[in-house]
Amino acid sequence: MFKLHKHLFIVSLTLLSGACAMAQSNLTSYKCHDLAEISVQWQDDKALLQIGKTQKISLAHVRAASGARYANNQHEIWEHHGELRWTDENSTVRLCKPTLP
């Protein structure tokens, strides 16, 4: 009986650590060519764009021929092949690359 409990405990810890890793992997930080730094939390049907420490913007998933595209009436992000193109409310386009953790 003790071996069964020990086995279930190990399996539970393994599943829990996998779920935590998945939750953390949904957040990606980027550095853009103009040195702007942004973070994106990827969710099923939206992305949360964080600019600096305080500004958070919700973007809805938008159909794209290739890659993942999210937008609202002021911002657009388009992730394709590991790079991100961010268009801000002033129509400034930035090319951004993920930063290493």
3-state secondary structure 60-95: EEECCCCCEEEECCCCEEEEECCEEEEECCCCCEEE
User: Does residue 24 surpass a pLDDT of 80?
Assistant: no
Element counts in the chain: helices (H) and strands (E): 1, 8
Domains present along the chain, CATH in parentheses: 26-98 (2.40.128.200)
Q: What is the pLDDT of residues 27-77, one digit of tens each?
A: 999 999 999 999 999 998 999 999 988 899 999 999 888 888 999 999 999
Structure confidence at residue 100 (pLDDT): 80
Stated pTM of the model: 0.70
Return the ∠ at Cα 26 (arms to 24 and 31), rounded to 5°.
100
Strand partners, 38: 30, 51
